Structure 1
């Protein structure tokens, strides 16, 4: 039955509750009764070019939409060579029997129109076995320069209608682009589409940069720079490409910054006199508040989506573990109790899970746990996996994986929170420390 395999895959991700019936127009009902995950087969015939100049654009948009869906591991594209049916007009009735004959369960059709440098993309999604559309057709507009964004928006809509979850394709990732030998590596900030396309650089390689983090609106990036010889936090405005140093106090080192959900506050670690604690900074008036105190090293803070709590790492128990405290500071409550050391915690956008890096018996893992520390699951294992970041819908985690040896280099990988669909993310050269943006406006 339509969508059963996709919804089964979602059901196996324990943090989510999946209904037995999918809320859509029409009588479609879903029964999850199989224990094998199979990607849902879909067909995406080349979108119709409604103007002569639109043919190449229509082909490119179709390929991007299909790649987005297939890349999730929840969908499998049926090759065009296997298509029996042909879409010759966006408004022509769908011959469902032709698509059932090749076992397509979903059909995506579309059309592209151009007017100078502007493009308009229409699409429809059909449930082949129910002989019915899934929702109404939609239309997106933009310029030819924003073609990829328009295609990602179409794919997000298709993904959302089939899974019931928000999409994540129309988003960007900021990361540290690396080059040069391992013992003298140059680092600069770069930003790219979620799939590695459209890379641009935000800083030069004159000084080491670390830990870039998007603001909730995606218009600013926090990062740590060593350009003064000591770690300092900077805020970069992506619209104006201006930056400013934050909390530049003599005799201190600041690092590991992250925005609060409201975008008006930053939490970070400050080291002074051999002591490292977590502080918050009001960006409007510059006021600073100390949130932790003691002899332990407290760092890597991350807010809950509602802004009420902060998860962080600390060695106060004698080894690196995860703790949660109120956003205004106070005593931390330990949540990690497995074997090994835990670090770099990041709260899921859904609020129900925390991703982390775990080191145990010489191996590194990316894992997730509930906010009370229960239901810990390790999603990866490698020589060095670290630094998770969540997709905007909380379905996928991106992280850094570095290979061993003198020639080892970091690369970006992604994995579904079920632990399936581990994939290398295409970047220009080596890359590390990714941070996912929210969905673009």
Structure 2
């Protein structure tokens, strides 16, 4: 990512800290340690301020001065998490920490632990945003003042809002935010020979939907590259086998990378983006293969008499999970293959488990548990059951593992649901067709 500007889809931005922790603390020191008495013999006067109990995860967000775009995006992003964000009924509208002089006790009396303030200004066709996240109890600016520079156009400003929300979330929780990633999914309309399938991409808040590919036929199992600049997926046209393609999100045509005489499905990029796992039946029953992300260098990894499908790389690249029906008809299970030893072990403990996908840290696996979207730990124990979605599909993790997206069918219409696993309101994105296979990317690099 280049510095000093931001222009999608090859986004560029600048984020830096202009104040270190020491200078941030000094900025508010006069507010915190003002003398309680003078050196004269005048009677001591003590002002007792009643401080409300500290409310965990609450954030006071002051809309940025000079801004009419970013603040609403940031507020909307943060409100979809476990953070409880308010911008109403605040005692003051400061643009920066310096404007808190003399009023910090008032903010402390609210019991809200975090305060976000900021402002925007224009400079040679760009918008510079300065913002601070303040620990209200101590008056400390967490990691100092932050700045971001973006081009002054709708796409760049929308992306900048998500990036700022990512940073605010990280400063408060210690976990990187997932708002600047994107979600790819399939939308289907029509049936049979009249079916039209579209591969769509949208922002992580459900807005800014774009069509990447449209075909007469079916699209299956999109997968993001680690740098979020490419998508692999399968297309099956009438009287043809599914073929795996790779396409740049920024535009241009798709390149066929697995065009074998069988069902080529479920691509999964390696963590370094150089290889792709997939399943294919061109040699008989479905087996698991690995190829170069540009096509070629085919290698068979798992070949049992049963069908092996839906491979997915582990984040460390040392193993992958896949699905096999070797346990019996209609009893698919999830297994792990280790690259170093070739050892295969069973992971799932359910009677029916398919569609595995790792969280970014490898500690959790999203999967389809019978007819319910579910999450299990790496040992196979189910940790969350999201219920029957109506179309038998598994959820997909956000980049930080705190949220999931999954497809469902409600009231006869397709729906995408983005849900926090730690609390916060869900986002429902309706569709005019059937929605399938949503997958969440990291922030573009």
Task: Report the alpha carbon displacement of residue 215 of structure 1 after superposing the two structures with TM.
Answer: 0.4
Following the alignment from structure 2 to structure 1, what is the Cα–Cα distance between the partners of residues 109 and 171?
23
Instruction: Give the corresponding residue for 1:48.
Output: 65
Compute the TM-score of the two structures, normalised by the length of structure 1.
Answer: 0.81
Q: Check 1:266–1:111 CA distance in 2 against 1; reply closer, same or farther (3 A cut).
A: same
Instruction: Give the corresponding residue for 1:401.
Output: 408
Give the conservation status (yes or no) of the 8 Å contact 2:372–2:394: no
Following the alignment from structure 1 to structure 2, what is the Cα–Cα distance between the partners of residues 240 and 390?
25
Following the alignment from structure 2 to structure 1, what is the Cα–Cα distance between the partners of residues 108 and 216?
58
Secondary structure of the residue aligned to 1:386 is coil
Following the alignment from structure 2 to structure 1, what is the Cα–Cα distance between the partners of residues 123 and 192?
49
Instruction: Give the corresponding residue for 1:55.
Output: none
Secondary structure of the residue aligned to 2:167 is helix
Task: Report the alpha carbon displacement of residue 243 of structure 1 after superposing the two structures with TM.
Answer: 1.4
Instruction: Give the corresponding residue for 1:263.
Output: 273
Instruction: Give the corresponding residue for 1:314.
Output: 324
Instruction: Give the corresponding residue for 1:343.
Output: 354
Following the alignment from structure 1 to structure 2, what is the Cα–Cα distance between the partners of residues 69 and 100?
21
Q: Aligned pair 1:187/2:204, yes or no?
A: no
Secondary structure of the residue aligned to 1:383 is coil
Give the conservation status (yes or no) of the 8 Å contact 1:156–1:168: yes
Following the alignment from structure 1 to structure 2, what is the Cα–Cα distance between the partners of residues 69 and 424?
12
Q: Residue by residue, what CA displacement relative to the aligned partner does 1:10-35 show, whole Å, maximum 9, x if unpaired?
A: xxxxxxxxxxxxx9997xxxxxxxxx
Task: Report the alpha carbon displacement of residue 237 of structure 1 after superposing the two structures with TM.
Answer: 1.9
Following the alignment from structure 2 to structure 1, what is the Cα–Cα distance between the partners of residues 259 and 95?
62
Task: Report the alpha carbon displacement of residue 396 of structure 1 after superposing the two structures with TM.
Answer: 1.3
Secondary structure of the residue aligned to 2:387 is coil
Compute the TM-score of the two structures, normalised by the length of structure 2.
Answer: 0.80
Task: Report the alpha carbon displacement of residue 171 of structure 1 after superposing the two structures with TM.
Answer: 1.0
Following the alignment from structure 1 to structure 2, what is the Cα–Cα distance between the partners of residues 245 and 343?
26
Counterpart mapping for 1:405-416 below 5 A: 408-416=412-420
Give the conservation status (yes or no) of the 8 Å contact 2:356–2:365: yes
Following the alignment from structure 1 to structure 2, what is the Cα–Cα distance between the partners of residues 114 and 90?
21
Partner residue of 2:143 out of 135, 140, 143: 135
Instruction: Give the corresponding residue for 2:80.
Output: 71
Partner residue of 2:69 out of 40, 44, 60: 60
Counterpart mapping for 1:54-133 below 5 A: 58-72=67-81, 74-80=82-88, 82-87=89-94, 91-93=98-100, 95-133=103-141
Secondary structure of the residue aligned to 1:148 is helix
**Higher RCO (C-alpha under 8 Å, 6+ residues apart):** 2
Give the conservation status (yes or no) of the 8 Å contact 2:142–2:171: yes
Q: Check 1:89–1:284 CA distance in 2 against 1; reply closer, same or farther (3 A cut).
A: closer
Partner residue of 1:241 out of 243, 252, 269: 252
Aligned length: 388
Task: Report the alpha carbon displacement of residue 208 of structure 1 after superposing the two structures with TM.
Answer: 1.7
Partner residue of 2:427 out of 417, 424, 430: 424
Following the alignment from structure 1 to structure 2, what is the Cα–Cα distance between the partners of residues 78 and 240?
39
* Structure with bigger gyration radius: 2
Any stretches of 5+ residues in structure 2 without a counterpart?
Answer: 1-20, 26-54
Counterpart mapping for 1:280-429 below 5 A: 280-283=290-293, 286-318=296-328, 319-327=331-339, 330-338=342-350, 340-359=351-370, 364-374=371-381, 376-403=383-410, 408-418=412-422, 420-421=423-424, 423-426=426-429, 429=432
Secondary structure of the residue aligned to 2:399 is coil
Question: Once superposed, which parts of structure 1, at least 4 consecutive aligned residues long, lie more than 6 Å away?
Answer: 23-26
Task: Report the alpha carbon displacement of residue 374 of structure 1 after superposing the two structures with TM.
Answer: 3.5
